[in-house]
Chains A and B, each alone.
Chain A
Amino acid sequence: MKKVLSFVLNGHEVSAEIESHKMLLQVLREEFQLTGTKEGCGQGECGACTVLVDGIPVDSCIYPSFEVDGKSVTTIEGLLGEGNVLHPIQAAFVAHGGVQCGFCTPGMIMSSKALLDETPMPTVQEVRNALAGNLCRCTGYVQIVDSVLSAAEKIQAEIKQ
């Protein structure tokens, strides 16, 4: 069965006719060509497909697409500012070596975004717990945690100014 879904995607109202068995990840990648969201496992274990639905991080690979109707979805592409300006979290991952192969990175950044929206100045333990659903095989997480902590400071400093 098919249905026309309407939702807000990275700030823009969109709609598309989607088959009922498609997950949100397929809709983003195939229908909207937003391939920044990755499929690492397809079973909600690795977090590479993390996107925000109404601001909350979910594994889009097991999120039924029909459930997104009327909601707001933010993907990694939605964090980039006008003129390709990196979001402070993205910039921190670049500056602090939070990226190696990069495949887990978009999901990792989306989880970090949700964390900092809810907990602007997290502890190391809070960062690690917030990223528990995002596996990385390259970095050992040290520089990822550094990146998130540094982004938190940058964002707070910007707010204070």
Chain B
Amino acid sequence: MSALRFIGTEAPRPDAPDKVAGKAVYIHDLVRPGMLYGKIKFSSFAHARIKSIDTSRAERLPGVRAVITGYNTPEIRIGFIKDNFALKKGKVRQYRDEVAAVAATDPDIAEEAIELIKIEYEELPGVFDPEDALKEGAPLIHETDPRGKHRTDNIVPVPWKFVSGDVEKAKSESAHIAEGYFTTPLIQQSCMGTAGCIAEFDLQNNLLIHTKTQIPFLAQNDFNRALAAMGLKGKNTRVVVPTLGGSFGTGLDTHGYEYISILLAYKTGRPVKIVLNREEEFASLSPRQPTRTWISQGCDREGRLTFRDVRMILDNGAYTSWGATTPSVMMLPISSIYRVPNVFYETKIVYTNNTYCQAMRGYGNPQAAWALECNMDQLAEAAGMDPLDLRLKNKNIPNDITPMGLNITTCGHEQCLNAVAERLEWRKLRGKGAAKARGVGMASLFHVGGSGRVYRSDGTGIIMKLDDFGNVSVIAGGIEMGQGFTSALALASAEALGVTPEKVTVVTGDTATCPWDVGTHASRGAFTACNAAILAAEKAREKIFKLASEHFMPRVHFSLKLRKKKDPSFEMPDLNWERICDPSEFDLKENVLFLKEEPKNPLLRVTLEEILREAHFKEQGTMIVTEAFYDPCNQMLDAATCRGNLSATYIFGAQGAEVEVDVETGEIKILNFVAAHDVGRVLNQQTIKGQIYGGIAQGVGYALSEEYRTSKGRNLNPNFLDYKILSAPDMNFPIHIECIETLDREGPFGAKGVGEPGLVPTAPAIANAVYDAVGVRITDLPITPEKILAALKRNK
């Protein structure tokens, strides 16, 4: 590949100016003519029968335009296995169950109306611990499955099991074994912009919904099914996505509030907006699943891994989202991080009366990495090895196929481990800070880097449209949610096409105009869209060069004649102006066409826009629009064996922390943090660092401060007063980022996906550093001073 002009630069984001000026339009800012405000009445119990609902007082309140319940609207089933309903009838299974909703002319009236709805419940015994839910005689959360078949237990019918080799045999032959039990809490995504939508119908009963989603096309599909359930079979949905105030997985499913807003809009004939306030966002969106993990790993005398045995229980909550598929991603590191021949992995997902869960950034990987990487350090200790040496001994290598069938192509795992060790001064500091209660720790990461096929199609479409002025619209199915999607796509499109980035406008977020895309998840946005853009750009270049073969020489002649007119001293070169060039003679760079043979000739140059205009405005003219659909070379996992090459390439990395523990208070201070990631290739220096810094901050929060607390299913901290994400003073330590470029053959310009991995190894790296500092191992996140101090006391 010739020298890259834009890829790898430190380029400002195209969406930044509007955002700094307060001009970007989020769902909160959007107003539609005649719009009403919707509000939802949530359950007052975690598990109860609905005895009666009295909406009469709410209906009489001036300004109220509609009051709906599950009893006066069509039944709309939602969720990954359709075990959830837009509005609940019969019983409620969690505090956030939607029992009724109103639409009113003013948000204050809607709020008042909600308080006037009286619901009588008969409380049922609840179950809030997934292990209790598995016990015989536990209350059933769902008495029947979505098909009406009687259920006898609380196990979600989405099982995950992967077996490779013979773990029992390997256990008996291992020289060293380390066992551990690790847990992770519920985590709230905490997007700064809360969720919301505006639903409205046109006069043909087609639905237009502006909504905060990462999956506009799957959402369209979901909403079309809802329309069918409402008696509007065959009607279509247009999903439009406004600027997103973060998403982090919240937009991977469609939600109750969206369907309620659709029902209210249909009933009132007016646009209905529902935007969650912060308390509702906490209490009624789906957090990251909590996990309980029993793990053991073994190695031989030389420290080579012999087996890995991982059993997990996931608290699903009351209903099932796409989050139930996160074990497919957990399985990647569990089966394949570090080379290990014998693996057993099984996950049970269990219904409880807790809030139902969803995927969050990392899609299960943070939970898996927490257990794996802490247990690696335990194994290193059992084997009497330095944890870095154990990791290096078992490192992943390029061109390897793992027992799960993951085809590792490029792999910078070793470079990442070494980079972290060097920056952290590992050899100097490890094991030597006890006197000052200081320590260093590290952890690795293994994640999808080339999308992840969790849906039948993993594709993404691009339309590339060129206009008379050499501007390029890149119309994409993916979504910008803050991660830098439009920036990466603009740079890649400019680079691949041969124009400058400011000529490129990325258009996204409209199912009526953008080509299909499975969703912006799995760190796939830039990887898939830029690959699609490269294909579309190749097609466009072919067309441009064909047009140039006809118009190039005459155009050069024309402009030289103009020049001669202005400057009679100019000497006209002697060229064959009628020559029809071959398309293969041309190249296009930075908006200018030239002959490959004479790239430096200042006379033989024509701008792209001139050629496009010539082609457009001649008789029987033409314009250039190309499209491409890129579907990566990856596989769905085999349902029975869980084998398959889930991603087109894999991302590796390592992070390390130096910490100091206050042994009197148990407080942890991070002194230094290092992240080395195999990113394939850096597309934009600025945005890639933003992704990694931001991931680390979320990872440090996961490690030290974040916990969505509940008591019998009710959220105790539905606000930032008590749900502690980190602020600027908390992140006051040096962070060094190293991007290792392995130039992946499947990646656009060699790039791999980088959106999620930043937070994956952060928590175990910190936990391992704490262990090095003071010899206590915290196994349940977050690592609070309370836990450290209690452990220090026990150690005494």
Q: Name A residues whose Cβ lies closer than 8 Å to a Cβ of B.
A: 21, 29, 34-43, 45-46, 48, 75-77, 79-80, 84, 86, 90-91, 93-106, 109, 124-125, 127-129, 131-145
Among B192, B482, B483, B732, point to the contact of A40 (Cβ < 8 A): B192
Judging by beta carbons under 8 Å apart, are A102 and B243 in contact?
A: yes
Judging by beta carbons under 8 Å apart, are B246 and A99 in contact?
A: no
Chain A residues with CB under 8 A of B719:
41, 43, 45
Chain A residues with CB under 8 A of B696:
140
Shortest C-beta distance, A53 to chain B (Å), equals: 17
Judging by beta carbons under 8 Å apart, are B13 and A99 in contact?
A: yes
Is B191 in the interface zone, CB < 8 Å from A?
A: yes
Among B26, B721, B725, point to the contact of A43 (Cβ < 8 A): B721
Question: Besides A95-B12, A129-B729, 9 other CB < 8 A contacts?
Answer: A45-B719, A76-B20, A84-B21, A97-B12, A109-B20, A136-B192, A137-B246, A138-B694, A140-B697
B10 to chain A: closest residue by CB: A97
Shortest C-beta distance, B369 to chain A (Å), equals: 18
- 24 A-B residue pairs with Cβ-Cβ distance under 8 Å, sorted by A, are A35-B22, A41-B720, A45-B719, A77-B21, A94-B17, A94-B20, A97-B687, A98-B20, A101-B191, A101-B243, A102-B18, A103-B26, A103-B482, A135-B192, A137-B190, A137-B191, A138-B482, A139-B694, A140-B695, A141-B697, A141-B731, A142-B693, A143-B686, A145-B728
B14-29 interface bits toward A, Cβ cutoff 8 Å, 1 = contact, 0 = none? 0111111111111011
B233-254 interface bits toward A, Cβ cutoff 8 Å, 1 = contact, 0 = none? 0000000000111111000000
State in angstroms the CA–CA spacing of A139 and B758 once bound together: 11
Chain B residues with CB under 8 A of A131:
727-728
Among B22, B28, B728, B731, point to the contact of A77 (Cβ < 8 A): B22
Shortest C-beta distance, A33 to chain B (Å), equals: 9
B480 to chain A: closest residue by CB: A101
Judging by beta carbons under 8 Å apart, are A140 and B731 in contact?
A: yes
Is B193 in the interface zone, CB < 8 Å from A?
A: yes
Judging by beta carbons under 8 Å apart, are B193 and A38 in contact?
A: yes
Chain B residues with CB under 8 A of A80:
21
B758 to chain A: closest residue by CB: A140
Chain B residues with CB under 8 A of A105:
19-20, 22
Given contacts A43-B719, A46-B192, A90-B20, contact A138 B690 (CB under 8 A): yes
State in angstroms the CA–CA spacing of A38 and B19 once bound together: 11
Is B278 in the interface zone, CB < 8 Å from A?
A: yes
Is B484 in the interface zone, CB < 8 Å from A?
A: yes
State in angstroms the CA–CA spacing of A130 and B157 once bound together: 50
State in angstroms the CA–CA spacing of A130 and B698 once bound together: 21
Judging by beta carbons under 8 Å apart, are A143 and B689 in contact?
A: yes
Interface size classification for chain B:
35 or more
Q: Name B residues whose Cβ lies closer than 8 Å to a Cβ of A.
A: 12-13, 15-26, 28-29, 108, 189-194, 243-248, 277-278, 481-484, 686-687, 689-690, 693-698, 719-721, 725, 727-729, 731-732, 735
Judging by beta carbons under 8 Å apart, are B482 and A102 in contact?
A: yes
Judging by beta carbons under 8 Å apart, are A139 and B693 in contact?
A: yes
Chain A residues with CB under 8 A of B13:
94, 97, 99
State in angstroms the CA–CA spacing of A127 and B19 once bound together: 21
Among B18, B26, B484, B729, point to the contact of A100 (Cβ < 8 A): B484
Chain B residues with CB under 8 A of A142:
689, 693, 731, 735
Judging by beta carbons under 8 Å apart, are A102 and B245 in contact?
A: yes
Chain B residues with CB under 8 A of A135:
192, 720, 725, 727
Given contacts A43-B278, A135-B720, A137-B246, contact A35 B694 (CB under 8 A): no
- Chain A residues touching B, majority SS: loop
Chain B residues with CB under 8 A of A48:
192
Shortest C-beta distance, B273 to chain A (Å), equals: 13
Judging by beta carbons under 8 Å apart, are A97 and B690 in contact?
A: yes
Chain B residues with CB under 8 A of A137:
189-192, 246, 248, 694, 698, 725
Shortest C-beta distance, B35 to chain A (Å), equals: 12
Given contacts A45-B720, A135-B725, contact A104 B20 (CB under 8 A): no
Shortest C-beta distance, A107 to chain B (Å), equals: 9
Judging by beta carbons under 8 Å apart, are B278 and A42 in contact?
A: yes
Nearest 5 pairs between A and B by C-beta?
A: A36-B22, A101-B482, A102-B19, A103-B245, A140-B697
Given contacts A45-B719, A140-B694, contact A99 B19 (CB under 8 A): yes
State in angstroms the CA–CA spacing of A42 and B720 once bound together: 10
B722 to chain A: closest residue by CB: A45
Judging by beta carbons under 8 Å apart, are B192 and A132 in contact?
A: no
Judging by beta carbons under 8 Å apart, are A99 and B16 in contact?
A: yes
State in angstroms the CA–CA spacing of A61 and B247 once bound together: 23
A102 to chain B: closest residue by CB: B19
State in angstroms the CA–CA spacing of A21 and B112 once bound together: 14
Judging by beta carbons under 8 Å apart, are B192 and A104 in contact?
A: yes
Judging by beta carbons under 8 Å apart, are A139 and B12 in contact?
A: no
B191 to chain A: closest residue by CB: A137
B192 to chain A: closest residue by CB: A103
State in angstroms the CA–CA spacing of A115 and B518 once bound together: 44
Shortest C-beta distance, A149 to chain B (Å), equals: 12
A92 to chain B: closest residue by CB: B20
Chain A residues with CB under 8 A of B248:
137
State in angstroms the CA–CA spacing of A109 and B484 once bound together: 20
Given contacts A38-B28, A139-B693, contact A125 B16 (CB under 8 A): no
**Residue of B15, B244, B245, B731 with highest tally of chain A CB at under 10 A:** B245
Among B26, B483, B695, B729, point to the contact of A128 (Cβ < 8 A): B729
Judging by beta carbons under 8 Å apart, are B727 and A139 in contact?
A: no
A145 to chain B: closest residue by CB: B728
Judging by beta carbons under 8 Å apart, are B720 and A46 in contact?
A: yes
Shortest C-beta distance, B229 to chain A (Å), equals: 33
Judging by beta carbons under 8 Å apart, are A101 and B20 in contact?
A: no
Shortest C-beta distance, A26 to chain B (Å), equals: 9
Shortest C-beta distance, A99 to chain B (Å), equals: 4
A129 to chain B: closest residue by CB: B729
Chain A residues with CB under 8 A of B732:
124-125, 128
Shortest C-beta distance, B720 to chain A (Å), equals: 4
State in angstroms the CA–CA spacing of A102 and B690 once bound together: 13
Judging by beta carbons under 8 Å apart, are B20 and A140 in contact?
A: no
State in angstroms the CA–CA spacing of A140 and B16 once bound together: 17
Shortest C-beta distance, A9 to chain B (Å), equals: 14
State in angstroms the CA–CA spacing of A100 and B20 once bound together: 10
Chain A residues with CB under 8 A of B686:
96-97, 143
Chain B residues with CB under 8 A of A101:
191-193, 243-247, 481-482
Given contacts A39-B28, A138-B246, contact A99 B278 (CB under 8 A): no
Chain A residues with CB under 8 A of B482:
100-103, 138
Among A98, A103, A133, point to the contact of B246 (Cβ < 8 A): A103
Judging by beta carbons under 8 Å apart, are A140 and B192 in contact?
A: no
**Residue of A35, A79, A144, A145 with highest tally of chain B CB at under 10 A:** A35
Given contacts A43-B719, A142-B693, contact A132 B727 (CB under 8 A): yes
Shortest C-beta distance, B582 to chain A (Å), equals: 43
Chain A residues with CB under 8 A of B693:
139-143
Shortest C-beta distance, A21 to chain B (Å), equals: 8
State in angstroms the CA–CA spacing of A149 and B12 once bound together: 17
State in angstroms the CA–CA spacing of A39 and B19 once bound together: 15
State in angstroms the CA–CA spacing of A13 and B482 once bound together: 35
State in angstroms the CA–CA spacing of A95 and B685 once bound together: 12
Chain B residues with CB under 8 A of A104:
192
B277 to chain A: closest residue by CB: A42
Shortest C-beta distance, B113 to chain A (Å), equals: 16
Among B22, B191, B484, B694, point to the contact of A37 (Cβ < 8 A): B22
Chain A residues with CB under 8 A of B15:
99, 102
A84 to chain B: closest residue by CB: B21
State in angstroms the CA–CA spacing of A142 and B731 once bound together: 8
B361 to chain A: closest residue by CB: A137
State in angstroms the CA–CA spacing of A140 and B363 once bound together: 20
Among B20, B29, B189, point to the contact of A35 (Cβ < 8 A): B29
State in angstroms the CA–CA spacing of A141 and B108 once bound together: 35
**Residue of A76, A99, A106 with highest tally of chain B CB at under 10 A:** A99
